[in-house]
Copies of this chain bind each other. A is one copy, B any other.
Amino acid sequence: MNYFINYLDQIVALTEESAAAIDEITIYRSLPKHTSLLQNGDVCKEFHFLEKGLARVFYYKDGKEVTAWFASANQIVSAIDSLFTGKPSLYNIEILEETSVWSLQYHKIEPVFEKHPIVERLGRLLITQNYLLLDERMKLFAFCTAEERYERLLLQIPDILQRVKLGQIASYLGISQEHLSRIRAGYKK
């Protein structure tokens, strides 16, 4: 049982056959820094489970990159807007450092859902999990100041500052790089 299947198995206990069926449509890859997993305008056909490493999802706003979120080890990253609709994505996915991923070819999953109801359940739980993450992110913007969002990000990925450029973090927090720099320096209102 590989790392990815093991992760899934802890969410829902899989049968041997269903695990094999998932394995069948999954590809393991080691990706170097700067790899692009998706460019906006493309249709996203897989989702990626990070065994280790770091990825960034971003979009372009007025010609500038804006980070939507970061994904680190044991997280799933994908352009879900495109994956589930078949429409071109607005998002880009970029590998920020040497990363190992399990890429599941989602466009091949329909027959697996048909054959293995337990996988359908797994799918439901995974999307539910991701819904809750997105809801958390909404709440982050709803309830927290940029300063608090910054602190939460540090809790989530403590070494993010060493791993990612400041401007990419600032756009994730919804502020300018200069403002983040001042927050870090202990800028008080």
Contacts and interface: CB of A to CB of B under 8 A. Distances in A.
Interface of A: 59, 61, 66, 68, 80-81, 84-85, 90, 113, 117, 120-121, 123-124, 127-128, 130-132, 134-135, 137-139, 141-143
A67 B180 CA distance: 28
Contact of A117 (B117, B131, B139, B143): B117
23 contacts: A59-B142, A59-B143, A61-B142, A61-B143, A80-B131, A80-B132, A80-B135, A81-B132, A84-B128, A85-B132, A113-B121, A117-B117, A120-B120, A120-B124, A124-B124, A124-B127, A127-B127, A130-B131, A134-B134, A134-B135, A134-B138, A138-B138, A141-B141
A121 B120 CA distance: 6
A77 B87 CA distance: 26
Contacts of A127: 124, 127-128, 131
A66 B142 CA distance: 9
A144 to B, nearest CB: 10
Nearest to A129: B84
